Amino acid sequence: MSRRSVRKFFGGSPPRVDKIVVGLGNPGDRYANTRHNVGFAVASRVAKRARADFGIKAADSRIAEGSLGDLKVAIARPQTFMNDSGRALTKLLDRYRLEPKDAIVVFDDVDLPLGTIRIRQSGSSGTHNGMRSIVSAIGEGFPRIRVGVAPAEPREVPDLAEYVLSPFDEDEKAVAEKAMDRAAEAVLVAVRDLARAMNQFNG
């Protein structure tokens, strides 16, 4: 029996949303406040604006469904661990019957200075393992918001994996919080008008 037939048999239908916002991170308390979980933190801020909580467990994700103005949105935090994010995003697109261009992915970027955000309409994965997984699964044609987590002051980072899986230093926290707030604001604009968001936040 096909997935569509199963839904028809049980009288269900896929929820209708206009956009998916996906914040990348790793599940579990161990990773909650690390640099690599910036995407989760931004997703939580967007969910608060949508007056939604992450009460839905589906598509290998925790999902909050709500509204941003007149738009219906699904805000997701994949639970697959970062390196397998593409599997969750594939299932999310299938669940909501949307195309990659209808998803906005938010993630940490160690190649951007702390406090910086950048929005792109599409592109390669760069050095980010979660993005590599997503691009491998659905291609490059989806918008993304990169949130910089590189040290504000250049310094030697001997182990990149250890660096991104560690919390922000005390003197970085205020800048990081401001950047995550700004990234959430960028999402609110981007779900309606990506070009406007790029003009407004890519300065």
Amino acid at residue number 72: K
Amino acid at residue number 113: P
Residue with tokens 């070009």: 195
| Residue-by-residue DSSP string for 30-77 | GGTTBGGGHHHHHHHHHHHHTT--S-EEETTEEEEEEEETTEEEEEEE
The tokens describing 24, both together, are 């990348």
Strands (DSSP E) found in the chain: 19-23, 56-58, 61-68, 71-78, 103-113, 117-120, 144-150
Catalytic residue among 19, 35, 36, 91: 36
Active site (annotated) includes residue 128? no
3-state helix, strand, coil in the chain (%, to 5): 45, 25, 35
Q: What is the CA radius of gyration of the chain?
A: 17
Number of other residues whose CB lies within 10 A of the CB of residue 168? 17
By annotation, the residues acting in catalysis are: 36
